[in-house]
Structure 1
């Protein structure tokens, strides 16, 4: 992707301002400066709003707060609202508890190619390290190799090699067919035009689970390719308790059915948005 093309970084959040503060700090420290931030807020309260307003006042990067009322887990609707507010040709989705490395946007830009999405991966921080990082508001992207090796030895991260070695684009990044493994909208890059073609995320998915796989499945059905961003775009995922997964089974079955019947467009998606605030 050309360096002059604007990227929109869409950061999802819900009532976790301490994590969001850490993530936004890392976003503002990116080496690639040609981007904007749209925060997809699924109904957070006043502390999150105040944090975003404070950060936007001092930020050299444009920040837009796309908020929707809290009516339960509505990640798909939240992301669609943010997409509608985006100005960039290329979208990078990042969760508000996933801290990017300083070259995160630069590496996504380098991997981007027409009619292709990039699915990145993550490094998992354990509960004790997460608590310390949030308490200290520790700039994770600035920590040394020695710090990460010590955390790995203590069992506080699941891997460190992607922080020490990064790989360029190469043929094995290409994913043939639809592969479920590795689909995470906490770290995903896609062309806005491709996302619009499939009508964005499907808001008819309710509860936790697989609205992200559904998007990738429909993009696959529409002929959009996929590359893996491993050893290039890893984010540092802060620990949190798992969400209720009572809808995982039905949502999983819906994705499989859509793969089988070739569905490309969301039942309720971008075109159904009435107002963006």
Structure 2
């Protein structure tokens, strides 16, 4: 329990070369409904050309504030970790240096964690992306008016998930919306996942990686995260480097190397926040349905394919396929077996871990039939860069496509063959246990 001298909330603000924005953000913290003795502010100065300590010192008479400076620029993850290491409260609120707090923001974060009574939790707040008029008003200390907050300035995450289905998708992967410009987490969870990954030094995805680890640390519990649209903040205009988006892909690749699972793999597709949530939910349901229906079993493989796999370097996708005799250098995507050096819980739509031409063949038993229409081409196109051919195996059996809904299932192989043969060399072979579509 906090003592009289211990704050109930630690506000962690990473900053780099943005003194004017930081000054506006710190000014907003002096106007909070939460009493100033209930929170502290720690600014992380990540090697700014002009030190930021003089900015923070201007607020020392109104805020419990400190500044942690690194003389070298070490990146956003290391900067947040260094500032968070100085925190005294049981709750950490991460606020960007260019994210101005609404007067009730800190109180809402504090109330959420207080009501959890020590249980771990994450609160994600909303932000408005202001233009020049809104930013000028805040810098003058004036209120934001409704005309400054139309849809063009809204939080893109909220627009993406406004559909009722997206709200239902949120508990499946709330970390997808886990941006650290306005988010709080219990300090215990932060320490247990070792904070932000300092190997991610470029822009982007370090916050999603952090919240992904918190989510799975606690068993992917659907009540762990809450999105609070009333926990408001205002994002100040700043120069966005076009190179940031390209550089962020290095962090994305690093994240997938760490977490070889379908829910991270989905992020490779260019999509909205809401569609990422929906795809993670759908593929989670697909993997469960795939298992319940007895699909993906190695018993469906014809004898010639089994014999070839025993001497080839292959990727085999299916339930129970890690028990097959496979050639040296082979790997499996087997969701029924624990992950390990040669087995991952992926779908196969990215395949970044394989070099070009590294595989003799890829064999996918039934899971491909659950791919969404734009993910199957990605699997085939990328797969044929890694392997000489792909075997799509469709197990014979009384499958009810309607009963599988909302999971998509390829049932009409003739339609699929007609679609694919305009782009690939496709051969169809019918065996006792399965139909094989050979793609070259």
Aligned partner of 2:56 in structure 1 is 52
Higher relative contact order (CA 8 A, sep 6+): 1
The one-character-per-residue Cα deviations of 1:222-258 (angstroms, maximum 9, x if unpaired) are 1165423332212100011213323211211332343
Aligned partner of 2:311 in structure 1 is none
Q: Distance in 1 between matches of 2:225 and 2:169?
A: 4
Q: Distance in 1 between matches of 2:135 and 2:100?
A: 14
The one-character-per-residue Cα deviations of 1:45-66 (angstroms, maximum 9, x if unpaired) are 436221112222x22x310101
Aligned partner of 1:268 in structure 2 is none
Higher mean Cα deviation, 114-123 or 99-108?
Answer: 114-123
Q: Distance in 2 between matches of 1:3 and 1:247?
A: 44
Aligned partner of 2:225 in structure 1 is 227
Partner SS state of residue 8, structure 1: strand
Q: Does structure 2 retain, via aligned residues, the 8 Å contact 1:121–1:234?
A: yes
Quick one: structure 1 residues 237 and 24, their matched pair in 2 at CA, closer, same or farther if it must change by over 3 Å?
same
Q: Does structure 2 retain, via aligned residues, the 8 Å contact 1:121–1:184?
A: no
Partner SS state of residue 52, structure 2: helix
Quick one: structure 1 residues 52 and 20, their matched pair in 2 at CA, closer, same or farther if it must change by over 3 Å?
same
Q: Distance in 2 between matches of 1:181 and 1:222?
A: 15
Q: Which residue of 37, 62, 66 maps to 2:41?
A: 37
Q: Distance in 2 between matches of 1:214 and 1:95?
A: 17
Q: Which residue of 189, 200, 216 maps to 1:205?
A: 200
Quick one: structure 1 residues 82 and 200, their matched pair in 2 at CA, closer, same or farther if it must change by over 3 Å?
same
Quick one: structure 1 residues 3 and 190, their matched pair in 2 at CA, closer, same or farther if it must change by over 3 Å?
farther
Aligned partner of 2:437 in structure 1 is none
* Residue 175 of structure 1, CA deviation: 4.2
Quick one: structure 1 residues 174 and 49, their matched pair in 2 at CA, closer, same or farther if it must change by over 3 Å?
farther
Q: Distance in 1 between matches of 2:171 and 2:2?
A: 26
How many residues were matched structurally?
240
Aligned partner of 1:158 in structure 2 is 154
Point out the structure with max Rg over C-alpha.
Answer: 2
Q: Distance in 2 between matches of 1:174 and 1:62?
A: 39
* Residue 219 of structure 1, CA deviation: 0.9
Q: Distance in 2 between matches of 1:121 and 1:219?
A: 20
Q: Which residue of 188, 191, 195 maps to 2:186?
A: 191
Aligned partner of 2:413 in structure 1 is none
Q: Distance in 1 between matches of 2:121 and 2:17?
A: 32
Quick one: structure 1 residues 138 and 205, their matched pair in 2 at CA, closer, same or farther if it must change by over 3 Å?
same
Q: Distance in 2 between matches of 1:3 and 1:242?
A: 42
Q: Does structure 2 retain, via aligned residues, the 8 Å contact 1:7–1:35?
A: yes
Aligned partner of 2:407 in structure 1 is none
Gaps of 5+ in 1: 163-171, 263-277
Whether 1:251 aligns to 2:254 is no
Aligned partner of 2:145 in structure 1 is 148
Q: Distance in 1 between matches of 2:179 and 2:44?
A: 16
Partner SS state of residue 66, structure 2: strand
Within-5 A mapping of 1:1-277: 6-33=8-35, 34-46=38-50, 48-56=52-60, 58-59=61-62, 61-71=63-73, 74-112=75-113, 113=116, 114-126=119-131, 128-129=132-133, 132-133=136-137, 137-139=139-141, 143=143, 148-152=145-149, 157-158=153-154, 175-223=170-218, 225=221, 226-243=224-241, 244-245=243-244, 246-260=246-260
- The root-mean-square deviation of aligned C-alpha atoms, in Å, is 3.0
The one-character-per-residue Cα deviations of 1:159-216 (angstroms, maximum 9, x if unpaired) are 7xx9xxxxxxxxx799423245422111110111110001111101121011101101
Q: Does structure 1 retain, via aligned residues, the 8 Å contact 2:15–2:97?
A: yes
